Amino acid sequence: MRALLLAGAVLLAGCQAQTPPAASASLAAPTASVTARGETAPVGTGNRDAADDPAIWRNPANPAASLIVATDKQAGLYVYGLDGKRRDYVQAGRVNNVDLRDLGDGQVLVAASDRSDKAQAAIALFRLDTAQARLTPIGKVPVGAGEAYGMCMGMIGGRPYGFVVLKDGAVQQVALSMAGAAGPVTRPLKLATQSEGCVVDDRTGQLYVAEEDVGIWRIDPMAGAASPPVMVAKVDGRTLFADVEGLAIAAEGKDGGYLVASSQGDSAYTLYRLSDGAYAGRFRVVAGRYGATSETDGIEVALGDFGPAFPGGLMVVQDGENAPLAQNFKLLAWDDIVRAVKPAAR
């Protein structure tokens, strides 16, 4: 494993030779405009960088009753309805990123990167009671030395896995269950510089990780050293600006759809086709009834019916500036994004 870590570090270090382009709206590729259709109540921590990352649970029986779980990275986890109202709050300390998976039979597992101890990373696990919109802590899973930063989950081979991206670029992987860890912690690779955002495409088992000043990598987490990371998109100062933050999958069909990234440096969002990695367009959330967004950290996308306001899918994005209130999350209709961006053929 040490050899793999060294090999990964050498493989990726070459990408650091150039300073990332400075963010400038005048340099950006054509960027569409979208307005939000809703927003959540602000998080409880005011006057600080606090709201960070959302996850979405879709209610198949009543899509309009779907739920959003989101982090206040200074304090804990919130549960919101699609009306933006707070349904629950759990004090959980410094939980940074969050993801969830519906395991069936009423079992929804929520996992958050826990950076309360910056020297020892952990995953904080919760059970989401979807009927009551309530979170119940399960416990913490230690994942080794370092500061837990990014967090995403994936269903691979029918099992839920958690992926924790440490602030120094290391990626920790562990099988999870409703009882906690279900397997040993492994470390598939180490990216060369600070990384955070990640997402798993459950259909293909591929993991995508954002190296903030470099770009987005695609990784086969089950292949080991035999399958090196592949650069999907580079920070180029035109379509993607540093910092690259949240990542999300807009899944269509067997393996189509889009990888969506938060281009935080110019407060925009960039789409790439999953079929071939090609750039497919970008957009910003501009001022409307619920305001614009800026410097977005975490994002999430889920396609399908989410009720009258979001009939084709829901995108939730963190808003870094929600003055005069504390930070919150904006809700976007996927149909609005597709109409505005007109992404290239899938």
What confidence tens digit (pLDDT) does each residue in 36-72 have? 999 999 999 998 899 999 999 999 999 999 999 999 9
Q: Are 211 and 195 in contact (CB under 8 A)?
A: yes
Could you tell me the residue range of the domain that residue 31 belongs to?
Answer: 2-17+24-341
* One-letter amino acid of 168: D
* One-letter amino acid of 167: K
23: DSSP letter: P
301 assigned to some structural domain: yes
297: DSSP letter: -
Alpha-helical regions (H) of the chain? 2-13, 334-341
* Torsional sign, CA 39, 305, 283, 35: negative
346 assigned to some structural domain: no
Confidence (pLDDT) at 344: 65
CA-closest candidate to residue 259, choices 305, 201, 204: 201
281 assigned to some structural domain: yes
232 assigned to some structural domain: yes
Does the model's pTM come out above 0.75?
yes
208 assigned to some structural domain: yes
- Please name every residue paired with 332 in a beta bridge, in sequence order, or none if there are none: 315
From the centroid of its chain, how far is CA 330?
14
- Number of structural domains found in the chain: 1
Residue ranges for the chain with pLDDT beneath 50? 1-22, 346
Burial 235-251 (b: 16+ CB within 10 A, else e): bebebbbbbbbbbbbbb
248 assigned to some structural domain: yes
73 assigned to some structural domain: yes
Please give the structure tokens belonging to residue 172: 């920790």
- Please name every residue paired with 186 in a beta bridge, in sequence order, or none if there are none: 173
CATH number at residue 217: 2.120.10.30
Confidence (pLDDT) at 4: 32
Q: In whole angstroms, how far apart are CA 202 and each of 122, 150, 159?
A: 23, 18, 10
CA-closest candidate to residue 122, choices 177, 192, 180, 69: 180
pLDDT tens-digit series, residues 249-268:
999 998 899 999 999 999 99
